[in-house]
């Protein structure tokens, strides 16, 4: 039905699908489910692993020996790439944007542990010239006889999109087993690839199911465009006949707070409550904002005509450690 390209196996799938209502996180909620993509692995865990299955297959098909990618200093995507590279014997070069405390903690610590070459770039320079920097690094490798594959931010492009189209296909069984009806799937959106893949996949495998992204950085308009663009490029590249303008693409952007990777009090409160009431670990950059936004919308009655709500837990546990001072557990001196 959809022309899935070759993939290599990296993620532990199918991931568990669990009911959350027993924990009383929210009143008058529809049935609330969680797709545990935080359990796609241990170090190599979270949503980027599903995308990398397709992206790395493409890199290997092109004969590449080196992976170059970019992100914030605490990027989960970069950590996953560092670990995949180590697993497959590929060199990894990460171009990271300075952010937060800058300490060797969380994902950045794991990048280093996994032996990736870490290059840190001031924020301004990163935002103005990341594409040029990545091209330059690829040329540097070429001049030394190596072949580098550049993976875009979050592996969100027309290749990485297949990871979450595949997740939508996996959800068919979960939906059947638990008899889900009138369903909405929600996820955190950072570079849009998860939302794009789920939107594409749901259209084919879960007809009638709506996908809603909860933005963690840019606004709804940005993500609606980005998702549409990723899907359109995918259709062009793989010859899919789909009228993309007919797809319902929806993003909610009220849970971003002060900006990307910036927390706020009710967010930390939500993360703490969720951990204590359900044992689920959410992170302040992605899943915390996504889930917080979703709970607020449930309380506001936005999902009153929905029977089943599925939150895709996209991982992010290591990033949480870089925020530990902001939870207010220890008095500051
Ligand atoms: C990258 C990431 C997201 C966002 O996924 P995108 O496909 O980039 O929108 C969500 N949660 C976690 C934990 C992530 O690392």
User: What CA dihedral angle connects 186, 192, 195 and 201, to 10 degrees?
Assistant: -170
Residue 216 Cα to ligand 1 midpoint, Å, equals: 9
233-246 pLDDT, tens digit per residue, is: 999 999 999 999 98
Residue 24: pLDDT over 80 = no
Q: Residue 56: what pLDDT? A: 98
Cβ neighbours of residue 126 closer than 8 Å, sequence gap 6 or more: 70, 95, 97, 98, 133
**Hey, which of 79, 162, 191 would you mutate to test ligand 1's pocket, going by the most ligand atoms within 8 Å of its Cβ?**
191
Q: Which atom of ligand 1 is nearest to the CA of 156?
A: 7
Structure confidence at residue 101 as a pLDDT band (50, 70, 90): confident
Euclidean distance between CA atoms 199 and 140, whole angstroms: 37
Cβ(268)–Cβ(327) below 8 Å: yes
Q: What angle do helix axes 162-178 and 193-205 make, rounded to 10 degrees? A: 50
Q: How many C-alpha atoms does 84 have within 13 Å on its Cβ side?
A: 34
Q: Residue 41: what pLDDT? A: 98
258-277 pLDDT, tens digit per residue, is: 999 999 999 999 999 999 99
Cβ(74)–Cβ(285) below 8 Å: yes
28-45 pLDDT, tens digit per residue, is: 679 999 999 999 999 999
Q: Which atom of ligand 1 is nearest to the CA of 194?
A: 7
Q: What 3-state DSSP class applies to 186?
A: strand
Q: Residue 119: what pLDDT? A: 98
146-188 pLDDT, tens digit per residue, is: 999 999 999 999 999 999 999 999 999 999 999 999 999 999 9
Residue 189 Cα to ligand 1 midpoint, Å, equals: 6
Residue 332 Cα to ligand 1 midpoint, Å, equals: 31
Say whether the peptide bond before residue 14 is cis (omega within 30 degrees of 0).
Answer: yes
**Hey, which of 315, 317, 320, 321 would you mutate to test ligand 1's pocket, going by the most ligand atoms within 8 Å of its Cβ?**
315
Q: What 3-state DSSP class applies to 271?
A: helix
Residue 230: pLDDT over 90 = yes
Active site residues: 75
Protein residue with its CA nearest to atom 15 in ligand 1: 76
**What mean pLDDT, rounded, does the chain reach?**
96
Q: Which residues surround ligand 1 with Cβ inside 6 Å?
A: 46-48, 76-77, 154, 156, 188-195, 283, 286-287, 314-316
Residue 331: pLDDT over 80 = no
Cβ neighbours of residue 315 closer than 8 Å, sequence gap 6 or more: 37, 38, 40, 45, 46, 47, 48, 76, 283, 286, 287
Structure confidence at residue 332 as a pLDDT band (50, 70, 90): low
Euclidean distance between CA atoms 25 and 13, whole angstroms: 27
CB neighbour class for 63 (10 Å; exposed up to 12, middle 13-18, buried from 19)? exposed
Residue 129: pLDDT over 90 = yes
Residue 198: pLDDT over 90 = yes
Q: Residue 23: what pLDDT? A: 67
Percent of the chain having pLDDT more than 90?
A: 95
Mean pLDDT, residues 1-8 taken together:
96
Cβ(285)–Cβ(319) below 8 Å: yes
């Amino acid at each position: 039905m959809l022309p899935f390209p070759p993939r290599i196996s990296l993620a532990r799938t199918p991931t568990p699908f669990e009911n959350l209502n027993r924990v009383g996180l929210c009143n008058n909620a529809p049935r609330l489910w969680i797709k545990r993509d935080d359990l796609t692995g241990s170090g190599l865990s979270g949503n980027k692993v599903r995308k990398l299955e397709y992206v790395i297959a493409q890199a290997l098909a092109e004969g590449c020996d080196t992976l170059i990618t970019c992100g914030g200093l605490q990027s989960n995507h970069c950590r996953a790439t560092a670990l995949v590279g180590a697993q497959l014997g590929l060199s990894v070069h990460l171009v990271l944007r300075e952010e937060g405390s800058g300490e060797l903690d969380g994902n950045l610590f794991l990048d280093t542990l996994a032996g990736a070459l870490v290059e840190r770039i001031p924020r301004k320079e990163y935002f103005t010239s990341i594409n040029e920097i990545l091209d330059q690094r690829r040329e540097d490798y070429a001049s030394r006889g190596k072949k580098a594959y550049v993976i875009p931010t979050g592996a969100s492009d027309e290749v990485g999109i297949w990871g979450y189209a595949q997740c939508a296909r996996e959800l068919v069984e979960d939906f059947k087993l638990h008899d889900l009806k009138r369903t909405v799937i929600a996820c955190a959106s950072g570079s849009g690839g998860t939302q794009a893949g789920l939107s594409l996949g749901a259209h084919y495998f879960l007809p009638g199911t709506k996908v809603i992204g909860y933005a963690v950085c840019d606004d709804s308009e940005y993500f609606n465009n980005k998702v549409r663009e990723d899907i359109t490029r995918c259709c062009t590249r793989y010859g899919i006949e789909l009228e993309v303008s007919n797809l319902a693409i929806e993003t909610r952007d009220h849970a971003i707070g002060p900006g990307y990777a910036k927390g706020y009090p009710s967010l930390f409160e939500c993360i703490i409550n969720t951990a204590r009431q359900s044992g689920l670990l959410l992170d302040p950059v992605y899943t915390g904002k996504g889930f917080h936004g979703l709970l607020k919308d449930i309380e506001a009655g936005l999902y009153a005509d929905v029977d089943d709500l599925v939150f895709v837990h996209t991982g992010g546990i290591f990033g949480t450690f870089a925020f530990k001072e902001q939870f207010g557990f220890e008095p500051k001196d």
